[in-house]
Amino acid sequence: MSAVEPNAAFQAKMTKLRDRFRERAIDQYHTLRELSPSLNADLQNIEAVRVIAHSLAGSAGLFGFEEVARQAASLEDRIVNRAGLETVSRYTDELCSLLHTSVVEHA
């Protein structure tokens, strides 16, 4: 077995993981879009947004989406630190826009 074969296998696995990340990020984008208008109506929606932001903050950078990871971390910080609903809504919308241009449009 040559040194090239393990590298090719690694690249194939990374491609599959990246594809799964994109699929999940697209689903998360759509969920954020659905939740965004109702953030002030339901505190459970804010927690759902926080969970998505946390997930993206931890995984987006691993697949080359550093700006998405930073924006997601900023959104999560705002929620954890109990920023006002207007601020949380704005950061959610900014994350959605970034996800759309970085991930959704390139799927």
Instruction: Answer whether 91's CB lies under 8 Å from 78's CB.
Output: yes
Domain membership flag for residue 74: yes
CATH code of 81's domain:
1.20.120
Q: Write the pLDDT tens digit of every residue in 28-87.
A: 999 999 998 877 767 789 999 999 999 999 999 999 999 999 999 999 999 999 998 889
Report how many domains make up the chain: 1
Give the per-residue pLDDT at 84.
87
Domain membership flag for residue 90: yes
In this structure, of 5-9, 20-24, 73-77, 82-86, the range with the lowest mean pLDDT score is: 5-9
Query: What range does the domain containing 86 cover?
Result: 20-106
Q: Write the pLDDT tens digit of every residue in 71-107.
A: 999 999 999 999 988 899 999 999 999 999 999 888 7
SS3 track for 30-72:
HHHHHHHHHCCCCHHHHHHHHHHHHHHHHHHHHHCCHHHHHHH
Half-sphere exposure (Cβ direction) of 4: Cα atoms closer than 13 Å: 0
Please state whether the predicted TM-score (pTM) of the whole model is above 0.85.
Answer: yes
